[in-house]
Amino acid sequence: MTPALAIGIDLGGTNIKGGVVDPSGRVLDRREIPTRADRGPGPVMDDLAELVTRLRNDHPVLGIGLATPGPLDLRRGRIIHAANLPGWIDVPIRDALAETTGLRVVLENDANAAAYGEFVAGAGRECLHMTLLTLGTGIGAGVIIDGRILHGHFDNAAELGHMIVVVDGEPCPCGQRGCLERYASADAVVRRADVAPPLAGGAERKRPDQSAERRRPDAPRTAEEVALLASQGDEGCSRVWNEACLYLAVACVNIQHAYNSQRIILGGGLSQAGVFLLNNVRCRMIEYAWKLHNDVPELLLAKLGSDAGIVGAAALLRDQSGDAENPGRGR
């Protein structure tokens, strides 16, 4: 009998997350190990193989879905050049992992895998046209059209974090200026709030929670804390927060014109602000959308959290192996 379970792995610059996933998208067994990417590809791939061994010990599995940073060459199964994995240039990760484990491996961009996870088991269920924006260190994105991931000719479609929203704006490590992620990622909000002026009248800015159990008083803010300060009337944080929401709204309008998504889903660290983010972006998106036709998409928060990449990668493996109700819809 063909196994119904699949392993999903999400290779990040800091941690490697892996899990055994059933056909409904439920993670039955989840494990996480540090990446220690500075060691280079060889030792990290050894750790990947060991993680797979531990996951498959108690579960018969169909194969491995592997989500990694890009850009990727999906046809050859290679990481072309991962910015947050030092030394990872033209690494044949798919075939190397398959050879080591003896299992079939399907490779996918990490943001695409997260989008596919939300599509099959999260906020994108029962929706054939959706876009996911992950608002974290940068801004990752994945676009689903007719139930399939959009890859593009060079396998790098939907790099929406590098959509230019400010002409001649802040320089981005990608080499462009004014990229969306320089203004609306979780890290960007924290960075810009740190240099923003405090409350009007010179009042002292107080952190939302300075308990010793949670963080040192001098530790950097999280995006969620910046949002709370903004909601309490802090002028500097309000300006930064409102600008981030404005640029996200403009991006959502552009996404809608490009892909005509039914839903746009917001995930990552910035989404921890919940309805304070959602309502602000939604109002501005409606304001800036065209008036020729009412095709403004639903705006929702992601549901799967850090498991989205695991769930999506496993689902892609299952789909491409023909072990799903709609085989092949991932590609």
Instruction: Identify the bridge partners of residue 86 per DSSP, sorted by sequence position.
Output: none
327 found inside a domain: no
CA 276, CA 263: separation in Å to the nearest integer?
Answer: 18
The number of angstroms, rounded, from the C-alpha of 162 to the middle of its chain's C-alpha atoms is 14
Residue 66 · residue 9 · CB < 8 Å: yes
What is the C-alpha to C-alpha distance for residues 305 and 322, in angstroms, rounded to an integer?
27
What span, in angstroms and rounded, lies between the C-alpha atoms of 224 and 151? 32
For residue 186, which of 229, 218, 223 has the smallest C-alpha distance? 223
Q: Are residues 56 and 133 in the same domain?
A: no
* Sheet bearing 5-11, strands edge to edge: 27-34, 15-21, 5-11, 61-68, 105-109
| Same domain assignment for residues 80 and 139 | no
The two beta strands, 72-73 and 78-81, are: antiparallel
- Answer for the pair 16, 46: CB distance below 8 angstroms, yes or no: no
- Same domain, residue pair 132 and 201: yes
pLDDT category of residue 2 using cuts at 50, 70 and 90 = low
pLDDT digit string, tens, across residues 172-222 = 988 899 999 999 999 999 999 887 665 444 445 555 544 433 343 433 478
Do 90 and 236 reside in the same domain of the chain?
no
User: Which CATH number does the domain housing residue 313 bear?
Assistant: 3.30.420.40
Residue 329 lies in a domain: no
pLDDT digits (tens, 9 = 90+) for 136-148: 989 999 999 999 9
Residues 208, 274, single domain; the answer is: yes
In a domain, 244, yes or no: yes
Pick 4 or 19 by higher pLDDT.
Answer: 19
Do both 91 and 225 map to the same domain? Answer: no
User: Residue 138 is encoded by which pair of tokens?
Assistant: 């940068």
pLDDT for res 214:
38
User: Is 174 in the same domain as 245?
Assistant: yes
Quick one: 114 and 169 in the same domain?
no
Phi then psi dihedrals of residue 56, to 5 deg? -90, -5
Same domain? 134 vs 280 = yes
Q: Residue holding tokens 């906020």?
A: 123
- Residue 240 sits in the same domain as residue 273: yes
Residues 141 and 271 grouped into a single domain? yes
Question: Would 330 be classed as within a structural domain?
Answer: no
Report yes or no on 48 lying in a domain: yes
Tell me the C-alpha distance between 165 and 92, whole Å.
35
**Residue whose C-alpha is closest to residue 18's, from 4, 34, 29:** 29
Question: What is the mean pLDDT of the segment spanning 285-292?
Answer: 93
Cα–Cα distance for residue pair 151/145, rounded to 1 Å: 10
Q: What is the mean pLDDT of residues 291-300?
A: 92
Residue 88 lies in a domain: yes
Q: Is 122 helix (H, G, I), strand (E, B) or coil?
A: coil
Q: Which domain holds residue 225?
A: 126-302
Residue-wise pLDDT for 216-252, tens only, equals 343 347 898 999 999 988 888 999 999 999 999 999 9
Residue 331 lies in a domain: no
Rounded average pLDDT over 115-142: 95
Q: Are 295 and 161 members of one domain?
A: yes
User: Does 9 map to a domain?
Assistant: yes
Q: Provide the domain count of the chain.
A: 2
